[in-house]
């Protein structure tokens, strides 16, 4: 079986253009997309035409800027219908949110990043806003550290090596923290990724290993260490309930 390398390259570049919208908020211009995707403007323009035709992008006539199209929503809808993990976790996450009053999120690993695939936000006026589909580094935040701590050592080494500058105390400190997470079975973060937020996370396993991180997050001023200690048994119980359903 032969493969058209030009076609594969075009698909790869088109996907990179779509992924540009995961790294930013709002719409993007042709120049911005070309720069973010590392492509020439002419190449970007041709690929944009195909993505527009298939409905994966929309072009705003007044501003000549692009945003994601409705075909992306169709794929998301199909994903949710076929995703057992999301279907199992949503009722449990809602129950947990109602018990503790803070935002509950579910993250999975996507390459060397983590992505929020499910969220139930706190009903309080001041809360941690959880955007589904948002990606974050694995080495920052409670959920990232849970996913990284229970992943294969080769991934841990790869992610830690990306921390700049290489070989500094930051890398050593992260290794020590990941070891602590593996031993205690949970991770915390206070004002790490977001200076106003704090989070507590635990792993969710299936037969093959860690598949997700279940977390509680809230304003650092309210979601204190004492509050985390109170919430930990509830969070562990929710994770156990989820695992019982996805492994049967």
Instruction: Just give the CATH number of 83-246.
Output: 3.30.450.40
Confidence (pLDDT) at 173: 87
Length of the chain: 248
Residues 119-138, buried b or exposed e (16+ Cβ, 10 A)? bbbbeeeebbebeeebbbeb
My answer on whether omega of the bond before 43 falls inside 30° of 0, hence cis, is: no
Q: What is the DSSP string of 120-148?
A: E--SSSS-----TT-EEETTSSHHHHHHH
Which residue carries 């973010």 as its tokens?
Answer: 36
Tens digits of pLDDT across the chain (248 residues)? 444 666 788 999 999 999 898 777 789 999 999 999 999 999 999 999 999 999 999 998 888 899 988 888 777 665 655 566 777 888 999 999 999 999 999 999 988 889 888 899 998 888 877 788 788 889 889 999 999 999 998 988 888 888 765 555 588 888 999 999 999 999 999 988 888 899 999 999 988 899 999 999 999 999 999 999 999 999 999 999 999 887 55
Report domain extents, the chain. Answer: 5-72, 83-246
Give the tokens for residue 95: 């129950």
Q: How far is Cα of residue 136 from the mean position of the Cα atoms in its chain?
A: 6
Confidence (pLDDT) at 44: 95
Best CA proximity match to 199, nearest among 115, 112, 127, 113 = 127
Best CA proximity match to 212, nearest among 90, 121, 123 = 90
Question: Topology of 5-72 in CATH?
Answer: Arc Repressor Mutant, subunit A (1.10.10)
**111 phi, psi to nearest 5 deg:** 65, -125
């Amino acid at each position: 079986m032969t493969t058209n390398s030009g076609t594969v390259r075009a698909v790869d570049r088109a996907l990179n253009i779509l992924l540009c919208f995961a790294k930013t908020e709002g719409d993007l211009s042709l120049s911005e997309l070309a720069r973010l995707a590392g492509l020439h403007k002419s190449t970007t323009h041709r690929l944009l035409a195909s993505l527009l035709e298939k409905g994966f992008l929309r072009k705003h006539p007044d501003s000549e800027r692009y945003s994601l199209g409705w075909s992306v929503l169709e794929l998301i809808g199909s994903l949710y219908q076929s995703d057992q993990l999301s279907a199992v976790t949503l009722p449990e996450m809602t129950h947990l949110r109602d018990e503790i009053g803070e935002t509950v999120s579910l993250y999975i690993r996507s390459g060397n990043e983590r992505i929020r695939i499910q969220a139930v936000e706190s009903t309080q006026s001041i809360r941690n806003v959880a955007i589904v589909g948002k990606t974050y580094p694995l080495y920052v935040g409670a959920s990232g550290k849970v996913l990284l701590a229970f992943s294969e050592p080769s991934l841990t080494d790869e992610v830690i090596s990306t921390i700049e500058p290489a070989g500094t105390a930051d890398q050593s400190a992260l290794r020590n923290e990941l070891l602590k997470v593996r031993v205690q079975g949970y991770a915390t973060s206070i004002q790490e990724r977001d200076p106003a937020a704090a989070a507590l996370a635990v792993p969710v396993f299936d037969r093959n290993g860690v598949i997700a991180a279940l977390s509680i997050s809230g304003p650092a001023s309210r979601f204190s260490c004492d509050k985390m200690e109170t919430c930990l048994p509830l969070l562990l119980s929710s994770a156990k309930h989820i695992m019982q359903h996805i492994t049967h």
